[in-house]
Amino acid sequence: MDEDPIAATRRWLQRAVIGLNLCPFAKAVQAKDQIRYVLSEATTPDELLEELAAELAWLNDTDPAVVDTTLLIHPRVLTDFYDYNDFLDQADAAVDALGLEGEIQVASFHPDYRFAGTAFDDAGNCTNRSPYPMLHLLREASVERAVAAFPDPDAIVDRNIDTLDGLGFEGYRKLLEP
Q: Give the model confidence (pLDDT) of 89-144 as tens digits.
A: 999 999 999 999 999 999 999 999 999 999 999 989 999 999 999 999 999 999 99
pLDDT of the residue at 148? 86
Angle at alpha carbon of residue 170, lines to 167 and 174, rounded to 5°: 90
SS3 37: strand
Alpha-carbon gap, residue 115 to 108, rounded angstroms: 12
Give CA angle at 141 (25, 111), nearest 5°.
50
Give which of 134, 132, 137 is closest to 58, Cα–Cα.
137
- Report which of 108, 150, 109, 161 is spatially closest to residue 130, judged by C-alpha positions: 109
- Give, to the nearest 10 degrees, the angle between helix 81-97 and helix 45-61: 40
C-alpha distances (whole Å) from 177 to each of 2, 15, 27, 107, 156 are: 12, 10, 21, 23, 25
Residue 1 banded pLDDT, cuts 50, 70, 90: low
Q: Considering only the C-alpha atoms of the chain, give the largest distance between any 2 of them, rounded to a whole number of Å.
A: 42
Neighbour count for residue 32 (Cβ, 10 Å): 12
Q: Is the pLDDT of residue 149 over 90?
A: no
Q: Which of 122, 80, 127 is nearest to 108 (CA)?
A: 127
